[in-house]
Amino acid sequence: MVTPWYKQFWPWFLIALPASVVVGSFVTLGIFSSNSVSLVAEDYYKKGKAINIDLTKINIAKELKLKALVISKQNRIVIEFDKGELQHYPALVTYFTHRTLPNRDFKQVVTADAKGHYQFDLPNEISGPWFIELEPHDKAWLIQGKVTFPSESPTALMN
């Protein structure tokens, strides 16, 4: 007496292989759709054109002999600014950009004390590599660089 196919092992084994691939594909699709990667900008052409503008701003900062050092002490960020040929210490717009987590990026407007130190407190401590840009309000020049936080020793921002 022959048993029907649905009571045998091999048909179910052969059906289970492609079925597990289909289930795994849907699980992978669900994971990728809920955790999108934002490393590639949608407006890459505009950002590429903006790089050329930034290069002229960097060159202006070099001509003015502007320099900056960044230090972090727990939740406090200190920027030591050398104003070079500027008449006074301008208010700076500082952009902190994380390289892979755009939702952690932030901007801070800071003013200097008499020695050219710009200080502000963060609500939370930051760690890891960050890209920092310093600009005046009129966006005439730009100083930028990479800083790994926490950094008790001064890190120079390069132009």
pLDDT of residue 41: 59
With a cut of 90, say whether residue 13 has pLDDT above it. yes
With a cut of 70, say whether residue 46 has pLDDT above it. no
> For the stretch 101-131, what's the b/e string if a residue is b when 16 or more beta carbons lie within 10 angstroms of its beta carbon?
eeeeeeeeebebeeeeebeeeeeeebeeebe
* Mean pLDDT of the region 26-40: 81
Homologous superfamily assigned to 44-157: Immunoglobulins (2.60.40.10)
Alpha helices (H) in the chain, listed in sequence order:
9-34, 44-63
pLDDT of residue 101: 80
pLDDT of residue 98: 86
So where are the chain's domains?
A: 44-157
Query: 67: exposed, middle or buried (C-beta count within 10 Å: 0-12, 13-18, 19+)?
Result: middle
Count of other CB atoms within 10 angstroms of residue 157: 22
pLDDT of residue 149: 86
Across the beta sheet with 106-110, the strand order is: 106-110, 92-98, 128-136, 143-149
Following CA atoms 17, 22, 23, 25 in sequence, which dihedral angle do they give, to the nearest 10 degrees?
A: 120
Q: Which of 22-26, 78-82, 114-118 has the highest mean pLDDT?
A: 22-26
How distant is the alpha carbon of residue 75 from its chain centre? 18
pLDDT of residue 123: 83
Model confidence at 111, in pLDDT bands (50, 70, 90)? very high
pLDDT of residue 118: 92
pLDDT of residue 150: 82
Predicted TM-score (pTM) of the model is 0.68
- Separation between Cα atoms, residue 100 and residue 108, nearest integer Å: 20
Q: Smallest Cα–Cα separation from 131: which of 152, 92, 103, 100?
A: 100
Model confidence at 128, in pLDDT bands (50, 70, 90)? confident
